[in-house]
């Protein structure tokens, strides 16, 4: 895995193939406009949005600086007289201020997510193959289905409008009939045999026949539209929404971001408007029936049946439209949604896909945890403190949604129920699933509709040390469990999932593990790295389609000969990359997942001094490097250093360790054995931009203050074993960083052997 081209990220995005550009287009909308991403690409990529998503003060500063950057762009485009761009930027500035002024951390989280998703797509574009999940999510059949729904909704809306005109014509026709009939009845009885009266009676009969025909036609058209809406909802629309929810689950566990809901909002709103329109038409027909009726009148035969169907469809439409747009997530851990810690605030966003102005500020949403105790297998009981009731409103944006974001919910364990004996089980607290439900009530046009939806199951932890195990539970649940079609009943959620967790096929699991790296540290795993993980899970000679991984083997049982599980080992690596190795990981400098046997095969035919970086298999959260060299008799030898963990990397950044690393062999002067990053990239070319400072070879006076002093750099050093073993385990003092001045003083008075003896003395 060689380093990637480090041109600006946005420049790389713009060079993607069309199918990948379509993915990028999906997650840029009015939450963070693509115009800003494009105009401020370099500035945006230079900011630490991850840190800002966890710090209100830093996020506030970034939001202020973003406004300054946009204002600078406004001044520039004004000078260039680019009227359209100036108009868009002014609108965007007001939009961003209005949306994020009170919650800058949310803006930082969104920008962080966008940048991370760009990196994920760039990584996917460079990978030779995609996994089965991503292939299914990018199927052409999906877009074809959506176009079919779009066309059908438009047809239904148009048909409802036409029927509206038909009912209006029917009303006018009936008014004319009623007027002429009453006029005829007011005539003197003596004139009844008059030929004009007979002619009028004949015309009235013809009008009545036409009236009957138009009533039947209107009812037939209404029934046809109701049938079309019923079919569309049950066969296509709900299927599309269920597919969106599955995409949301996949995104929660690190997969590709799911698409926007704006398209669904358009569909649901148009169908709701059409159904209310049909309801009014049926009511109008009922009103016309009370004024004029006759033998064989079709209205009393069909109106009740049609009205019941319309109301039933409205109920289903509203119930399906009440969804969790953004799942519960602690702002402190934006990449670990659905894991909640007691006494720590989390955010969740609800949305009603039927957007009608009459509902603005009318819907009060109430949040409850574990509403149905019979579904909860945990002995622990929780309540939600903070602000569990909030009002939905229409957001001020181009496609403003009817939504509410609950930002101040805080779970608390209920001490009064802590001793209550519930279901007993062998599962750990990080395997307990809890459900957060949300309720509201729609009162509209004389209808009252109770709505309820649930979040995806969450895991409650009381200590942050439980987060890795809890996250493993979230991965496993959402890997296997698709949400039910209807989201109104909590019993559909399988909260007892871990009473008998299913096994995963290796190819399923490996794809999800690659997502953990692409979403958490910005670069996924290639096929060779995944093969190594597969071998670690099930042994050599991997045949992914035939191998199953149990939940216990994934994260509960210890690896052979180790004191930790596979997941604990992998999570330690993720944390190490995130905190200490992120730039060189994203650059592709770390091969990482390669066995000791495999690394020797890769290095043995390379130039002396070729090295690679590998994550330790015996130390949690550690990285080592191995290089090859030739002995005096031409024999190929390999050396590995004691793995560096987060403690050692706190003292010195890893790129500087690689730059300054020295070994002492026999009586020879110390030298840096690291020349080429595998396969053949000069070390300074691979890591040069990540060095903290330029290495100082000679003494130079500084420009101010401490004139005459030599700037110091720390030199990691090792004594090269004569038997070719890995270097220093346990670490000798020579493994510790040594400044050049100290090392120079030692070399002046002592031989290398004496240096080792001196440094090893108590």
pLDDT of residue 541: 55
Could you give the 3-state DSSP secondary structure of residue 748?
helix
Given a cut of 60, is residue 727 above it in pLDDT? no
Given a cut of 80, is residue 192 above it in pLDDT? no
The whole-angstrom separation of Cα 93 and Cα 548 is 52
pLDDT of residue 635: 85
pLDDT: is 16 or 189 the higher one? 16
pLDDT of residue 703: 43
Q: Tally helices (H) and strands (E) across the chain.
A: 26, 20
**164-320 in CATH: which number?**
1.20.1050.20
Q: What is the mean pLDDT of residues 239-255?
A: 90
Token pair 């008799």 is found at 633
**631-760 in CATH: which number?**
3.30.505
In CATH terms, are 330-499 and 631-760 the same topology?
no
pLDDT of residue 690: 87
Q: What are 581-601's pLDDT values in tens digits?
A: 988 998 889 999 988 888 899
pLDDT of residue 488: 43
Residue 722: pLDDT band by 50, 70, 90 thresholds? low
Highest mean pLDDT among 113-122, 327-336, 485-494, 570-579: 570-579
Given a cut of 60, is residue 697 above it in pLDDT? no
The whole-angstrom separation of Cα 631 and Cα 633 is 5
The first and second tokens of residue 681, run together, are: 């990239």
What are the phi and psi torsion angles at 356 (to 5°)? -120, 135
The whole-angstrom separation of Cα 379 and Cα 567 is 26
Q: What is the mean pLDDT of residues 222-251?
A: 92
Given a cut of 50, is residue 186 above it in pLDDT? yes
CA geometry: angle 365, 367, 369, nearest 5 deg: 160
Q: What is the mean pLDDT of residues 382-392?
A: 94
The first and second tokens of residue 84, run together, are: 């359209």
Q: Which residues contact 99 (CB under 8 A, 6 or more apart)?
A: 31, 107, 395, 396, 397
Q: Are 622 and 616 in contact (CB under 8 A)?
A: yes
* Spatial CA neighbour of 278 closest among 413, 156, 183, 152: 156
**330-499 in CATH: which number?**
2.60.40.630
Token pair 């035919």 is found at 605
Q: What are 358-372's pLDDT values in tens digits?
A: 999 999 999 999 987
Q: Are 240 and 9 in contact (CB under 8 A)?
A: no
Given a cut of 50, is residue 706 above it in pLDDT? no
The ranges assigned to domains in the chain are 164-320, 330-499, 631-760
The overall average pLDDT reported for the chain is 82
Token pair 């008075």 is found at 749
pLDDT of residue 423: 43
pLDDT: is 203 or 473 the higher one? 473
Would you give the distance in Å from CA 198 to the centre of its chain? 76
pLDDT of residue 30: 52
Give this prediction's pTM: 0.79
The first and second tokens of residue 576, run together, are: 């190490």
Q: Which residues contact 47 (CB under 8 A, 6 or more apart)?
A: 62, 65
Residue 472: pLDDT band by 50, 70, 90 thresholds? very high
The first and second tokens of residue 645, run together, are: 């963990």
Residue 726 DSSP code: P
The DSSP string of 64-76 is: HHHHHHHHHHHHH
The first and second tokens of residue 59, run together, are: 């996020």
Given a cut of 70, is residue 709 above it in pLDDT? no
Given a cut of 80, is residue 531 above it in pLDDT? yes
**Angstrom distances, CA of residue 207 to CA of 202, 203, 489:** 9, 6, 52
Alpha-carbon dihedral 125, 131, 133, 136, rounded to 10 degrees: 70
The whole-angstrom separation of Cα 169 and Cα 167 is 5
Q: State the burial class of residue 336 (Cβ atoms within 10 Å of its Cβ: 0-12, 13-18, 19+).
A: buried
* Spatial CA neighbour of 365 closest among 386, 385, 383, 349: 349
Helices 104-126 and 83-100: crossing angle in degrees, nearest 10, is 120
Token pair 């990018």 is found at 138
Highest mean pLDDT among 53-67, 344-358, 631-645: 344-358
pLDDT: is 520 or 456 the higher one? 456
Given a cut of 70, is residue 713 above it in pLDDT? no
pLDDT of residue 667: 61
Could you give the 3-state DSSP secondary structure of residue 625?
strand
Given a cut of 50, is residue 700 above it in pLDDT? no
Residue 140: pLDDT band by 50, 70, 90 thresholds? low
What count of other Cβ atoms lies within 10 Å of the Cβ of residue 139? 11
Q: Considering all CA atoms of the chain, what is the largest pairwise distance in Å, rounded to the nearest integer?
A: 144
Given a cut of 80, is residue 420 above it in pLDDT? no
List the alpha helices (DSSP H) in 138-185: 140-185
Distance from first CA to last CA of the chain, Å, rounded?
43
Q: What are 631-650's pLDDT values in tens digits?
A: 878 788 888 888 999 988 98
Residue 7: pLDDT band by 50, 70, 90 thresholds? low
């Amino acid at each position: 895995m060689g380093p990637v081209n480090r041109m600006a990220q946005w420049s790389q995005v713009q060079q993607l193939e069309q199918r990948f550009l379509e993915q990028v287009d999906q997650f840029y909308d009015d939450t963070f406009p693509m115009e800003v991403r494009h105009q401020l690409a370099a500035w945006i990529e230079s900011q630490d949005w991850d840190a800002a998503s966890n710090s209100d003060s830093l996020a506030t500063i970034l939001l202020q600086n973003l406004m300054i950057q946009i204002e600078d762009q406004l001044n520039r485009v004004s000078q260039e007289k680019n009227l359209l761009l100036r108009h868009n930027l002014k609108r965007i500035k007001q939009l961003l201020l209005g949306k994020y002024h009170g919650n800058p951390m949310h803006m930082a989280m969104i920008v962080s997510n966008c940048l991370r998703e760009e990196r994920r797509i760039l990584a996917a574009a460079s990978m030779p193959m995609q996994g089965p999940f991503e292939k299914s999510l990018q199927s052409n059949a999906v877009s074809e289905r959506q176009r079919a729904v779009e066309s059908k909704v438009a047809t239904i809306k148009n048909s409802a409008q036409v029927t509206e005109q038909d009912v209006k014509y029917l009303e006018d026709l009936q008014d004319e009939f009623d007027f002429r009939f009453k006029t005829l009845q007011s005539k003197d009885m003596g004139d009844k045999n008059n030929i004009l009266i007979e002619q009028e009676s004949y015309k009235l009969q013809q009008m009545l026949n036409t009236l009957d025909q138009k009533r039947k036609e209107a009812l037939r058209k209404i029934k046809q539209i109701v049938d079309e809406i019923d079919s569309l909802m049950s066969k296509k629309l709900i299927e599309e929404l269920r597919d969106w929810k599955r995409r949301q689950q996949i995104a929660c566990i690190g997969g590709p971001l799911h698409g926007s809901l704006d398209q669904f909002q358009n569909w649901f709103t148009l169908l709701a408007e059409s159904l209310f329109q049909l309801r009014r038409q049926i009511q109008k027909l009922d009103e016309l029936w009370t004024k004029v009726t006759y033998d064989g009148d079709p209205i009393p035969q069909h109106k009740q049946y049609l009205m019941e169907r319309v109301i039933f469809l409205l109920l289903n439409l509203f119930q399906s439209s009440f969804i969790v747009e953004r799942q519960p997530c602690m702002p402190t851990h934006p990449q670990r949604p659905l894991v909640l810690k007691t006494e720590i605030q989390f955010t969740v966003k609800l949305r009603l896909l039927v957007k009608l102005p009459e509902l603005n500020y009318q819907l009060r949403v109430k949040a409850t945890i574990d509403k149905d105790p019979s579904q909860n297998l945990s002995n622990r009981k929780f309540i939600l403190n903070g602000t569990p009731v909030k009002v939905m409103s229409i957001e001020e944006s181009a496609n403003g949604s009817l939504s509410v974001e609950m930002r101040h919910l805080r779970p608390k364990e209920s001490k009064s129920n802590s001793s209550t004996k519930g279901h007993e089980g062998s599962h750990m607290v990080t395997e307990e699933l809890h459900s957060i439900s949300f309720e509201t009530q729609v009162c509209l046009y004389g209808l009252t509709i109770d709505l309820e939806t649930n979040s995806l199951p969450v895991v409650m932890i009381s200590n942050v040390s439980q987060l890795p195990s809890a996250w493993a539970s979230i991965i496993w649940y959402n890997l296997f469990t698709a949400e039910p079609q209807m989201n109104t009943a909590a019993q559909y959620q399988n909260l007892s999932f871990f009473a008998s967790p299913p096994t995963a096929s290796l190819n399923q699991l490996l794809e999800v593990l690659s997502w953990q790296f692409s979403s958490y540290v910005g670069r996924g795993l290639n096929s060779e790295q995944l093969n190594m993980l597969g071998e670690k899970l099930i042994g050599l000679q991997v045949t992914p389609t035939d191998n199953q991984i149990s939940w216990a083997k994934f994260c509960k049982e210890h690896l052979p000969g180790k004191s930790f599980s596979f997941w604990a080992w992998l999570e330690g690596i993720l944390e190490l990359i995130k905190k200490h190795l992120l730039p060189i990981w994203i650059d592709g400098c770390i091969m990482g997942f390669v066995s000791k046997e495999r690394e020797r095969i890769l290095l043995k035919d390379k130039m002396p001094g070729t090295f690679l970086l590998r994550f330790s298999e015996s130390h949690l959260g550690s990285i080592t490097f191995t290089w090859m060299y030739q002995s005096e008799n031409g024999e190929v030898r390999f050396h590995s250093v004691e793995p560096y963990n987060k403690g050692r990397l706190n003292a010195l950044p890893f790129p500087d360790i690689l730059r300054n690393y020295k070994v002492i062999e026999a009586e020879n002067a110390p030298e840096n054995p690291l020349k080429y990053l595998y396969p053949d990239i000069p070390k300074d070319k691979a890591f040069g931009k990540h060095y903290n400072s330029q290495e100082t070879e000679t003494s130079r006076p500084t420009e101010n203050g401490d004139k005459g002093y030599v700037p110091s750099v720390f030199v990691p050093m090792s004594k090269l074993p004569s038997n070719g073993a890995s270097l220093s385990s346990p670490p000798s003092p020579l493994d510790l960083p040594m400044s050049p001045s100290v090392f120079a003083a030692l070399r002046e008075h002592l031989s290398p052997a004496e240096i080792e003896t001196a440094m090893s003395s108590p």
